[in-house]
Homo-oligomer: A and B are copies of this chain.
Amino acid sequence: MGRGPTVALDGFGAEQGFEVLAAGVRLAAGDGIDVRVFGPPPELGLDGVDGIEVVPTSEWIGNEEDAVAAVRAKKEASVVRAAADVAEGRSDALVSAGSTGAAMAAATFGLRRLKGVQRPALAVQLPVPGKRVLFLDVGANVEVRAQHLVQFAFLGAAFSAAVLGVERPRVGLLSVGEEAGKGREEVVAAHAVLSAAPGIDFVGNVEGRDLPIGVADVVVTDGFTGNVALKLMEGTAKTVTGAIRDAARSNPLAALGGLLMRPALGGVRRELHPDTTGGAILLGLRGIAVVAHGSSGAAGIANAVRLAARCVEAGAVDRTAALLQEGGAGRGELAGDRAERGGA
């Protein structure tokens, strides 16, 4: 194909339907990204579009299914076939806007973990105006041990440097206070290991209020807290902008003011919209996997495909593997292993 990276896209599960998904694929293909879509050709309506190939697929995995069991049982499901396409080298990256659980399971089974990685983590770039803040884990691991948090720090720092272009990423640990002793047992133990870890610029604990400010380039937490926090940021941004919109409608002068401000506010709205960052990346695998927001519009789908392509072009997997090796994973002494011995 030779135009650029090839992305394998799960053609099912996008909440806004096939038409919106297809519109997103067209946008991404227009940028020179080849996309192989695993879904139903008639519904997608993408036949003959340059750079797009529809691989006819009729089976899929829904949100309500047990993700791990379904991925094991349904070899013909769209997300499983898309992951296999990457594993077999026909595509360079997997993207899904379907069940997050199924996408994570299909990617983990299909692409396998990097050497030394115990638990892959789901990372997102936060919609912080003017900053590139990477936040993980946002849902892959609802329960973690200290060594997992330490690994997330290394995985996040590697991705921030390789794909987001942050030169020496500052890494923070989400907790309930700045002091080293604040937080859950595993957070306190991870803090101790990261403080002494070579090869990482650890800035200590960061609090909830620091997260949207961008005091660190990478913020690490468990998948329960991270999932709640990410959705809460989205919900709060929506509530605040909604309250401001209501205020703008409360009297004629305010309405005129709102009208005059509208062009300037468009940029804010775009920066805060979940579609802008394109989705979450599953870090720690031997391949690229991006999970788009289930409610993504066409722009969200396109941005997820673009994000996957950018990861491929940046050599994210190789660079992450190299940084993990530097951190000691190859010598069986990744910082996290020490947490296991020293911590809880």
Contacts and interface: CB of A to CB of B under 8 A. Distances in A.
Given A213-B235, A236-B240, A240-B236, A143 B184 contact: yes
Interface in A143-172: 143
Nearest to A130: B243
Interface in A260-275: 260-265, 267-268, 271-272
A228 interface: yes
Interface in A213-259: 213, 221, 223-225, 227-241, 243-244, 246-248, 250-251, 253-254, 256-259
Interface string A204-215: 000111111100
What class of interface size applies to chain A in its complex with B? 35 or more
B247 A257 contact: no
Contacts of A239: 128-129, 212-213
A175 B227 CA distance: 9
Count of identical protomers in the assembly: 2
A120 interface: no
A128 B243 CA distance: 10
A70 to B, nearest CB: 15
A232 B260 contact: no
A300 to B, nearest CB: 16
A247 B248 CA distance: 15
Contacts of A238: 209, 212
Nearest to A259: B257
Contacts of A176: 139, 142, 223-224, 227-228
Contacts of A179: 64
Contacts of A272: 240, 243
A231 B209 contact: yes
A174 interface: yes
A183 interface: yes
21 contacts: A129-B239, A129-B243, A143-B185, A176-B228, A187-B224, A207-B231, A209-B231, A211-B232, A213-B239, A228-B229, A232-B232, A232-B233, A236-B236, A240-B241, A240-B268, A240-B272, A244-B268, A247-B265, A247-B267, A254-B261, A257-B264
* Nearest 10 interchain pairs by C-beta: A257-B260, A208-B231, A208-B232, A257-B261, A209-B235, A254-B264, A247-B264, A209-B231, A257-B257, A208-B228
